[in-house]
Structure 1
Amino acid sequence: MKKQSVIFRRHVFLFAVLLLFSSCMLYGKSKLIEFSNLPEKAQTYIKTHFPDAKPLKIEKEKDGLSVKYEVELDNKIDLDFNSKGEITGIDGNSELPDSVIPKEILDYVKKNYPDNYIMDWHLEKKTQEVELNSGLELKFDLKGKFLRIDK
């Protein structure tokens, strides 16, 4: 009886390991893709707002049922797109083009922080956030109304 119990525990352990391994394989998969494999909307966005930049690396990430794309440009700007090719985040090391910032947010920053510029922009479920070159993080609602300073 003791021998059967040990064998059973080993089988349960092996099953748990296989289940964990399978879960890891299903979630968090990413692979490099070509520019032409990005959703059309993302391709158009890059060509419109960053016409002189070249993509260095494009990753398609699957996390469960969701898909997102991360694009690294040669001008040190990283772009995040959702599965539909809609922009969800922009990280830069210098000033972002005005054309990528929602007008209400851009106007607010230019009026209230005239000596600063926007380096990062991120869209969350209910908010938008920008980071200024001073390190200050500003939160806005989805319509671009200022909510608060985060840092």
Structure 2
Amino acid sequence: MKRTRIILAGILLSAWTLPAAAGNDRPIVVGELPAAAREFLRTHFDGLEVSYAKVDEDFFDKEYKVVFVNGAKVEFLEDGLWKELDCKYGEVPAAAVPRQIADEVARLFPERKIVSIDRGRRDYEVGLDNGLELTFDRKFRLTEMDD
């Protein structure tokens, strides 16, 4: 009986303390980003003033977020590869968009600008300045359009 109470108390204590350790956001300076992320920012967002940068540390991974004064934001995975680019008041730098996606958007929507792109495990979601959202698979084939 005493053993059962001790085990139950351990489980309850774990249930209270584990969520407190998850979702640990903390501000960082750009110099604390992974090297690949710093190089990406230097290449595609050079000259833009950073509003803030933060790291979100979970149990098994880290994600980084950089927000610029002009409202643009970039999210990176733990290894420094970009996960999401959102330039809601401007255009995603053309060199940051995979060439096949940029070519297809230019062919189908020649007057439109790419304002966001999100790289998922299975696809890319691209937002255009007219509100249209396009989904491309990992082979860069257009699979869905949503407005």
Q: Give the AA of the match of 1:79.
A: V
What's the TM-score once normalised by structure 2's chain length? 0.88
Cα shift at 1:107: 0.6
Structure 2 match to 1:33: 28
Bigger Cα displacement from structure 2, 139-148 vs 76-85: 139-148
* Correspondence for 1:22 among 2, 6, 17: 17
Cα shift at 1:131: 0.5
- Tell me the SS of whatever aligns to 2:23: strand
* Correspondence for 2:78 among 77, 83, 90: 83
Pairing 1:46–2:19 present: no
Give the whole-Å Cα distance in 2 for the aligned partners of 1:73 and 1:149: 29
Q: Give the AA of the match of 2:92.
A: L
- Tell me the SS of whatever aligns to 2:36: helix
Cα shift at 1:15: 6.2
Cα shift at 1:54: 2.0
- Answer with 1 or 2: which has the greater Rg: 1
Report % sequence identity. Answer: 25
Q: Within 5 Å, which residues of 2 pair with 1:70-109? A: 70-93=65-88, 94-109=90-105
Q: Give the AA of the match of 1:50.
A: F
Ranges in structure 1 where 5+ consecutive residues have no aligned partner: 1-7
Give the whole-Å Cα distance in 1 for the aligned partners of 2:23 and 2:16: 12
- Tell me the SS of whatever aligns to 1:111: helix
Cα shift at 1:38: 0.5
Give the whole-Å Cα distance in 2 for the aligned partners of 1:140 and 1:22: 40
What's the TM-score once normalised by structure 1's chain length? 0.86
**Deviant stretches of 4+, over 4 Å:** 12-15
Q: Deviations over 1:31-63 (max 9, x none)?
A: 111111100110000010011112211111012
Q: Give the AA of the match of 2:36.
A: K
Give the whole-Å Cα distance in 2 for the aligned partners of 1:97 and 1:53: 12
Q: Deviations over 1:77-135 (max 9, x none)?
A: 11010000000101112211111111111111111011211110000001001001111
Give the whole-Å Cα distance in 1 for the aligned partners of 2:9 and 2:16: 12
Structure 2 match to 1:123: 119
Ranges in structure 2 where 5+ consecutive residues have no aligned partner: none
Give the whole-Å Cα distance in 2 for the aligned partners of 1:45 and 1:75: 18
Pairing 1:139–2:139 present: no
How many residues in Structure 1 have an aligned counterpart in Structure 2?
142
Give the whole-Å Cα distance in 2 for the aligned partners of 1:105 and 1:138: 10
